[in-house]
Amino acid sequence: MAPSPDDKVLVKVSNSTITVGEFKSRIAKLPSYYKEIAEKNKKRYLEEMIAEKLFYEEALRRGLNNDKEVAEIVVEAKKKIVITKLIKNEVDDKVTVSEAEIKAFYEANKDKMKTPEMWRASHILVPTIQEAKDILQQLNSGASFDELARVKSKDATAARLGDVGFFRLGQLVPEFEKAATKLSVGQISDIVQTKFGYHIIKLTDRKESGVQPYEKAKPVIESELKKKKRAELFYDLIMTLKKKYGVNIDERAFAANDPLVKEDKPESKI
């Protein structure tokens, strides 16, 4: 039988090797974010694996694998790994939420899923009242709001033709919100003063308040229901194991060793 391409040795480090298969497997097991980075920088990731091999080889030659502190850490690490596996088997893998459950929750909680009224505005911000008056006069004479925002505005939004995006009440300074929310879509305000300077505002869009559509709410509901079910399964597992193995807390011993619990001591007469 011909050898598999994955068996090809990429690197030899002392008496050990890194094969193509081992290299690919290590990358495949990485979390998605780190996997993407490793895929783009394979040589660098290979160097990291080589460094790991070198460190491990040196540690073994020094006998650190027999070190007492290392042995204790290994025991603790193994304990955490097998506990994680148990919880995965008995809790995480059993958490399921059906479409019917999600829809039922949505229907029962529609009043909690209302989207707030939203406004979208663009503005031109200048530091003086005179500059604001000059710009307002140009606008009243037919000048382009977008172009004046791009050229005249002293705000970072100038690069976006003054667009501040959608906002709901409480997100922007009160004076700006009060003026913007009184406008009709397409209407331009008078001069509005805030702590940032003098604004001329144009309302560009408006979204009425309403119930969030099911498809948009679905991922959030599913996530919340899964969290709730996971917590319930986790609690049930603990209760089952307590019953199975028995747990008896010596409350007096606990209190005696708890620094937050003060012992009753006779009052000093000194």
Q: How many CB atoms neighbour CB 203 within 10 A?
A: 20
122 and 202 in contact (C-beta within 8 Å)? yes
* 3-state SS assignment for residue 193: strand
Identify the CA nearest to 199 among candidates 118, 137, 128: 128
Q: What is the structure's pLDDT at 262?
A: 55
* Predicted pLDDT of residue 260: 62
CA distances from 190 to 8, 25, 151 (A): 74, 64, 19
In CATH terms, is domain 117-208 a member of 3.10.50.40? Answer: yes
d(CA 219, CA 164): 28
Q: CA dihedral in degrees (168, 174, 176, 180; nearest 10)?
A: 50
Nearest to 124 by CA among 180, 202, 185: 202
Compute the half-sphere exposure of residue 210: CA atoms within 13 Å on the CB side of its CA. 7
Q: What value, to the nearest 5°, has the Cα angle with vertex 146 and ends 180 and 117?
A: 30
Helix (H) / strand (E) element for 197: namely strand 197-207
pLDDT by residue for the chain (270 residues), tens only, comes to 667 888 999 999 888 899 999 999 999 999 988 999 999 999 999 999 999 999 999 999 999 999 999 999 999 999 999 999 999 999 999 999 999 999 999 999 988 888 889 999 999 999 999 999 999 999 999 999 999 999 999 999 999 999 999 999 999 999 999 999 999 999 999 999 999 999 999 999 999 998 889 999 999 999 999 999 999 999 999 999 999 999 998 888 888 876 665 555 544 443
User: Tokens at residue 216, please?
Assistant: 């948009």
Which string of b and e fits 72-110 if b means at least 16 CB within 10 Å? eeeeeeeeeeeeeeeeeeebeeebebeeeebeebbeeee
pTM (two decimals): 0.59
The CA distance from 126 to 138, in Å, is: 14
What is the end-to-end Cα distance of the chain in Å, rounded?
92
CA dihedral 97, 98, 103, 106 (to 10 degrees): 0
Between CA 197 and CA 158 the distance in angstroms is 15
Which structure tokens are listed for 229? 């079910």
CA distance 33 to 165: 29
**pLDDT at site 3:** 75
Residues of the chain with CATH 3.10.50.40: 117-208
Using alpha carbons, list the distances in angstroms from residue 258 to 28, 247, 248, 262.
Answer: 47, 19, 17, 8
Give me the pLDDT at residue 261, please.
56
Per-residue confidence (pLDDT) for residue 257, from 0 to 100: 79
- Single out the residue of 106, 115, 111 nearest to residue 209, CA to CA: 115
